[in-house]
Amino acid sequence: MHIEEMTRADALSLVASMPLGRLAYALNDQPYVTPLSFALEGDNLFGFSTVGQKITCMRANPKVCVEFERIKNQQEWATVLIGGLFEELDHGSGYSDRAYSLLSRRAAWWQPGYIRTDLASAEHPLEPVYFRIQIVKISGRRSVSDEPRPPRRNLWQRICREDGQPYC
């Protein structure tokens, strides 16, 4: 096995296929990571949450990172990192409507952002916030097997024995 760089197109394809990413943000030199649903369009990731720690932190420091990964096992995996800038979308704006349209195409798109959360015996408010992350940088890596693949058999080879007679 070895590791190879993914093309930008392959990295974006992986991002578009993933139901969740991990959003990293920081405030006062303290990093945080949380899972979140995203929708990709062009050079933007659209997301949704409620007002709380992550929104407060991203308002104060808009530099974020989002990680997406597909892991089958230790030898078969791919991961993409996106560095970008958080931008809150005004309610009723074309961008917030677009974010809703893109996100709502996915099952349970509002989770985990719009689930009632109890923190320190106080209920978390459910004030919705749509946002986008403008992609500034993207990189991806994936594992690649060093073992040669067995030769593919053509259709004739799959339905016939070596003597040319069909398998029955």
Per-residue pLDDT tens digits for 114-163 = 455 555 555 556 678 889 999 999 999 999 887 766 666 665 555 666 66
Helices (H) and strands (E) in the chain, counts: 4, 10
Listed by start position, the domains of the chain span 2-159
Q: How many CB atoms lie within 10 A of CB 45?
A: 26
Query: Which CATH topology does 2-159 take?
Result: Pnp Oxidase; Chain A (2.30.110)
Mean pLDDT of the chain: 82
